[in-house]
Structure 1
Amino acid sequence: MKDHRGGWLRAMLLITFLSHQTAECAAKNGRAVVEHHPSSYWEQPFSQPYFDNTTKRETTTTVGQSAYLHCRVRNLGDRAVSWIRQRDLHILTVGILTYTNDQRFQSLHSDGSDEWTLKISSPQVRDSGIYECQVSTEPKISQAFNLSVVVSKAKINGNSELYIKSGSDINLTCIVLQTPEPPSFIYWYKGDNVINYSQRGGISVVTEKQTRTSRLLISKALPADSGNYTCAPSTAESASVLVHVLNGEHPAAMQHGNSSNSGAATRTLALLLLLLHAGSFAR
């Protein structure tokens, strides 16, 4: 039994040795050695490109703030990655080349990376929609990304016009609406100038980025503090309020009172004329 096993082992070693010798001879003589496989390499399931589904598929940005859509393709090989706008099937980029006249669209890719990023500079509301990351396999494979471009606005609580009695505090609260990320800063202006804290005492600003709010407090306001106050976030439309600091009575209240008295007098006069007219007909 041992002799049979030993003979089998020697035979296998000899076959292996002869195979290597044949391959070496063929290589020296310039002949290619063709290895036969049941199917080509690219037809193997493990070699096909596929998407990394851990990437973010929903993106929200504000008007004017660059948007980035990140598509990650594993095992790409020699295939090409394209970005296509779904609403009109317009090809935006192929590889790192831009295929549209709108130069706001750009494909970002680093050598050796699996990530192909579509950058949209200065996006507008009309740019909202579905974008497809497509790989040139047969059949083609694609992954959809949803972009929402919103208009971020600031809002100052209260009316657009504010009346303050001299000696009272000006207390303004600004809220930034519809912004996916907290603003990097929120400035307060009086007229065209940033509020100068050193100009007078009693001015404070408290900004909370996470809640997207900013509060302006001017204590013991004087008539000189009257003016147009503006809240201007870094990535949102600004909001303004007109502040009047008065020494006397609220002019709007006075006007309202006068108009009320005038209206009452007009109604009384009309009633008297109607009664007199009716009396003349009775006679």
Structure 2
Amino acid sequence: MLYQLLLVVALLQIQKLDCWETKLRHQRKHINDDFYHDEESEATGGHRSQTDTRKLVRGHRQDRGGHHKQQLEDNRVRTKEDENKNMSIFRSANNTIVMAHAGSRTSLPCQIFKDSQHGVITWGLLPEGDRPYTLLTVGDSLYTDNLRFSIEKPIRHDHWNLLINPVTLADSGEYECQATIHPPQSIIVKLVVQEAYAEIIGTKEKVFKSESKLQLVCALKQATSKPEFIFWYHNDRMINYDHNEGISVAEDMSGSTLTISSVSVRQSGNYTCQPSNMKSDSVIVTILAENKSPNALQDKASGNTVVIPQVAAGGNMILPGYSLVLIVVVYLVPLAVRPSST
């Protein structure tokens, strides 16, 4: 009897536990439904159907996807900006060497990529020995008092070449073209200035016969550009345009050639080749008075002098330095072959 009573009590407890578990499960479900219902109501201001709820969840997912895409785009932009900071904005090569001769007009290259964020472009002469750093230009404005320096005015705004006119030997050195971005970027241009000079080919003393063709060739040495002019002087007179005297002048990148079609004795004298902003060169020209002679007595290419016998009045040929030898030989030969008196 006691056993049966205990069994009934146990069954009642189990049923009671099942009832409580079912009730608790139902309460939990009701709480969750109320929570999602309140959340949807706050977002929309009213009640939504199950279809509206699904659309709301889908919209949340799309918003999360769009936000992720925006983050990726922002990261890509930042990465590109970082790459641009590491890339050079200069199209011109670094450590360029520019050769120029004193007195000429020269330009130091500084070209940047179009549409680059370059800030302000400045030019400066780097220190060397006792010479300090010298700021030359800021933007397109001249900073130094030396008016020989300026910025070339380009059609486009990606050229910032430094113009020096005229250049001097003291201008040799390293120049820096700098962009004031963060961090700053710059390129170096080395300028080497040398002294150009003229050289008339051949010896310094030249001999021509009258009515022969005279030609003098003037070569430009260490010149980096063609001079504005090359003048020829006979003594103190400039003769480039004396065409009535049979004079013509031809110029090219290597120099100038003076030609006189038929020279006369009065055209003897000093001849000078004078290029602009270069050291000149001179030669002495002697014109002999004999007629119907060959051309120049001197070979310009080799510099060797050719001796031509002179013809005296009456048609007798004069051999300077050989007449005395001939007389002695003629006199001594009979004595050598004469028989002995004994």
Q: How far did residue 223 of structure 1 move?
A: 1.0
**1:216 and 2:255 equivalent?**
no
Give 3-state SS (helix, strand or coil) of 2:109's partner. strand
Point out where structure 1 has 5 or more consecutive residues left out of the alignment: 20-35, 258-283
Deviation at 1:43, TM superposition (A): 8.9
Residue equivalent to 1:243: 285
Query: Which of 49, 62, 65 lines up with 2:101 in the alignment?
Result: 62
Distance in 2 between residues matched to 1:152 and 1:111, nearest whole Å: 32
1:139 counterpart = 2:183:
yes
Q: Given the alignment, which residue of 160, 185, 194 partners 2:239?
A: 194
Please tell me whether Structure 1 or Structure 2 has the larger radius of gyration of its CA atoms: 2
Does the 8 Å contact 1:174/1:214 carry over to 2? yes
Higher strand fraction (1 or 2): 1
Identify which of 120, 127, 130 aligns with 1:80.
120
Deviation, structure 1 residue 218: 2.3
Cα RMSD (Å) = 4.0
Q: 1:164 aligns with which of 208, 212, 215?
A: 208
Contact 1:62 1:179 in 2 (8 A): yes
Matches within 5 A, 1:25-44: 44=81
| Higher helix content, 1 or 2 | 2
User: 1:103 corresponds to which residue?
Assistant: 147
Match of 2:59 in 1: 11
Q: Which amino acid aligns with 1:221?
A: V
Task: Name which of structure 1's ranges 98-107 and 45-54 shifts more when overlaid on structure 2.
Answer: 45-54
Q: Sequence identity, in percent?
A: 29
Tell me by how many angstroms 1:205 deviates.
Answer: 3.6
Cα distance, 1:8–1:237 mapped onto 2, change above 3 Å: farther
- Structure 2: 5+ residue stretches without partners: 1-50, 68-72, 291-296, 298-306, 308-319, 321-342
The answer as to whether partners of 1:165 and 1:247 remain within 8 angstroms in 2 is yes
Once residues 155 and 264 of structure 2 are traced to their aligned partners in structure 1, the CA distance between those partners, rounded to angstroms, is: 63
Partner of 1:227: 269
Name the count of aligned residue pairs.
228
Structure 1 contact 55–71 (Cα < 8 Å) conserved: no
Please point out which of 59, 82, 86 is paired with 1:45.
82
Mapped partners of 1:171, 1:118: distance in 2:
41
Shift of 1:104: 1.6
Measured at CA, do residues 43 and 80 of structure 1 come closer, stay the same or move farther in structure 2, by a change above 3 Å? farther
Normalised TM-score (structure 1): 0.65
- SS for the counterpart of 1:133 is strand
